[in-house]
Amino acid sequence: MGKQEKIVSMFNEIAGTYDVANRVLSMGIDKTWRNKACNLAFSFYDKNKIEKIIDVACGTGDMLTTWQKVADKNAIEIQNRVGVDPSVGMMDVARIKLPNVEFIEAGAELLPFDSEVADIISISYGIRNVVKRQEAFHEFARTLKKDGLLVILEFTKNEKNSPLDYLTDFYLNKILPTLGGIISKNKEAYTYLPNSIDEFLTQDNLCLELKEAGLEPIYVKGFSMNISTLFIARKV
């Protein structure tokens, strides 16, 4: 089994408890990050009718739910929301929550869409789990309309410059695996999370990769002691 297959298998195993674990481990703050991402994206895109939003690595559908809620608050019409994920287990949970959304089993590096069909593509807390990341960025660029937006929320690697950075590190490496393991009965999955952040990119390097794929970063900001970073890039 390759690395990508192992990651997908792990998410299939924890799908049933994923939502509860997420809320507890982020102390509910991930909802704030998602809301901010959607609001900013809509303000940058500045249209009141959007044909298609594709959420890649959609998991149990949190971001798809947020897109609709924020659109409703801003009187924006979304004609079509599509969730894409290689984990069938996660999407099974999402389908129950969101019966009106189309879900497609696929990886980020090979999207089953024609070119230039999406207004917005989002991927939240999923890009570090994509083994062929550069191929995925090129696929996102291909699928986006000209001037369309890519919205990424991700845990990024930080230099440890302050006591707060060490506190964050302690939480991610010691508390999170234990709590996540208790909730999901799969400690290995929640040990993978901090390890995957440590092995991931810095903000600057991710921006370079986006530019190389024809996606120009227009907004990059860290939230909550830089635990989470929001990237918004425009297809040029």
Judge whether 228 is annotated as a binding position. Answer: no
For all residues of the chain together, what is the average pLDDT? 84
Structural tokens at position 220: 């990059």
Q: How far apart are CA 144 and CA 53, in angstroms?
A: 10
pLDDT at residue 58 above 60? yes
Nearest to 127 by CA among 25, 57, 77, 79: 57
Nearest to 200 by CA among 138, 155, 134: 155
Domains and CATH numbers, the chain: 3-235 (3.40.50.150)
What is the CA angle 65-69-73, rounded to 5?
Answer: 170
Judge whether 65 is annotated as a binding position. Answer: no
Confidence (pTM): 0.80
Judge whether 165 is annotated as a binding position. Answer: no
> Residue range 17-42: average pLDDT?
77
Please, which residues bridge with residue 229 across strands? 154, 222
Q: Model confidence over 150-196: pLDDT tens digits?
A: 999 987 765 556 666 666 666 666 666 666 666 666 666 666 565 66
